[in-house]
Structure 1
Amino acid sequence: MDQVLVFDVNETLIDLESMNPLFERIFGDARVVREWFGQLITYSMTTTLSGRWTDFFALGQGVLGMLADVHGVEITPGDVDDVTEAMRTMPAHPDVEAGLTMLRDAGFRLVTLTNSPAVPGVPTPLEHAGLASYFERRFTVEAARAYKPAPQVYHLVTQGLGVPPSACLMVTCHVWDAVGAQSAGFSAGLITRRGNAPLPVAALPQPGFAAPDLPSLAGQIIEGRPG
């Protein structure tokens, strides 16, 4: 059976730090983008664990307002709109197309699994980044009304493609995503992008592959594929 590579999108494929100038303008400190994204992931998990649901962009707007209160900054409706638009239009990391081309040419099936919603009539972040054509399917968490790393989110891929979890390898720069995928029966590869690193805790599964960029990880995956 062909192996399916399941790609996270936000920060793994597209560049979160492209939003730095926007956060510098709003908060006077570009580093707040990391605080914002970390809180966004925390509260996406919170909505799932508490049995509630709202989409990722709405949650991002809410977290922005929360951080404005925390930092004592006044934000305008225009600032909120600018952050929402930036969430949809972040560019790809410069290494991504080369890595995707390597994996596609090696015969892997490529799909995505993202927290970002698909808005009818609005180009997706992948489309804005020029990456959509690499992927056979693009799965979003909306179908499960839960966020990663909930097991049912990863099952969207296996059910949608009709493959077992053992056929899937999650490619992500987030340890929490890798742990979730591995707990659902996937294997995992970790891209250690800036701000991300392995978590050396023995009780948690460790990714089978790890590299600082996608071409390096692709090389490991291609070399490590069963013959």
Structure 2
Amino acid sequence: MPQAIGLDVYGTLVNPLKMEDHLEPLAGERAGELAALWRQKQLEYAFRRGLMRRYEDFGICTKQALEFAARSLGIGLPEPERRRLLEAYGSLPPFPDVPEALSTLGERGHRLWAFSNGLESAARGLLERAGLLEYLEGVISVDDLRTFKPAPEVYLYLARRLERKPEEVWLVSGNPFDVIGAKAAGLRAAWVRRDPEAVFDPWGIEPDLTVADLQDLAEKLPD
């Protein structure tokens, strides 16, 4: 039976750290540091809002994280620059391996859905601009539940939307917290470890598969 797969978007299909290119006019040689802190705080804000049950959508988390990161590094962020950067965030590039790998997975009959912390409309527009939407059946957003990964209910919601039991659904993500969240909720999960020096959280919960990229996943995922 073809696999039912939920693919994380930010950090798995598209690369948030490529915002470094857009940040360079603002931050110069600190652009990479700013991009990394922006991403770190974006996730932290989503986690905190989920725990506090004070939901605001992922776009708000992204905007507030940018403001924090810029202030932390002492970098001025005029309103035109903020608008420019947030607009650029909606056009993040795909990782190089992704288009061909999604095509291969689709040809093998696997069901492919994007599964994101982002708003459905934002994720859909991002994936369309990245040239990836055509490979997917659709987009599932945690916004439907007004909370964020790694809350267990969002992974169970993914399984319901795919009309499969949790243990029959794969979550594919480059983010260890996402993989652990999916496994804790009863799904199967693959960790995309593009950086060979990346360390998986030592929680005693391991991915079912660890792959170097999505092309590696396409070769190793059981039919």
Q: Shared fold by TM > 0.5?
A: yes
Identity across the alignment (%): 28
Equivalent residue number for residue 142 of structure 1: 143
Structure 1 residue 25 displacement after superposition: 2.1
Structure 1 residue 187 displacement after superposition: 0.8
The one of 53, 62, 69 equivalent to 1:60 is: 62
Matched position secondary structure for 1:5: strand
Equivalent residue number for residue 113 of structure 2: 111
Show structure 1 runs of 5+ residues with no match: none
Q: Where do residues 208-223 of structure 1 align in structure 2 (5 Å cutoff)?
A: 208-221=208-221
Alignment RMSD: 1.9
**Alignment-mate amino acid for residue 22 of structure 1:** H
CA distance in 1, matches of 2:48, 2:196: 22
CA distance in 2, matches of 1:53, 1:214: 31
**Alignment-mate amino acid for residue 137 of structure 1:** G
CA distance in 2, matches of 1:76, 1:200: 37
Q: Could you list the runs of 4 or more consecutive aligned residues of structure 1 that deviate by over 6 angstroms after TM superposition?
A: none
Change in 2 beyond 3 A, CA 1:24/1:210? same
User: Is the CA contact 2:41–2:69 (under 8 Å) kept in the aligned structure 1?
Assistant: no
Equivalent residue number for residue 151 of structure 1: 152
| Count of residues paired in the alignment | 221
Matched position secondary structure for 2:22: helix
Change in 2 beyond 3 A, CA 1:197/1:36? same
Deviations 1:127-174 (A, max 9, x none): 111111111121011101001111111122112222110111111100
Matched position secondary structure for 1:11: coil
TM-score (norm 2): 0.92
CA distance in 1, matches of 2:195, 2:85: 21
User: Is the CA contact 2:42–2:61 (under 8 Å) kept in the aligned structure 1?
Assistant: yes
CA distance in 2, matches of 1:133, 1:58: 27
User: Is the CA contact 1:173–1:196 (under 8 Å) kept in the aligned structure 2?
Assistant: no
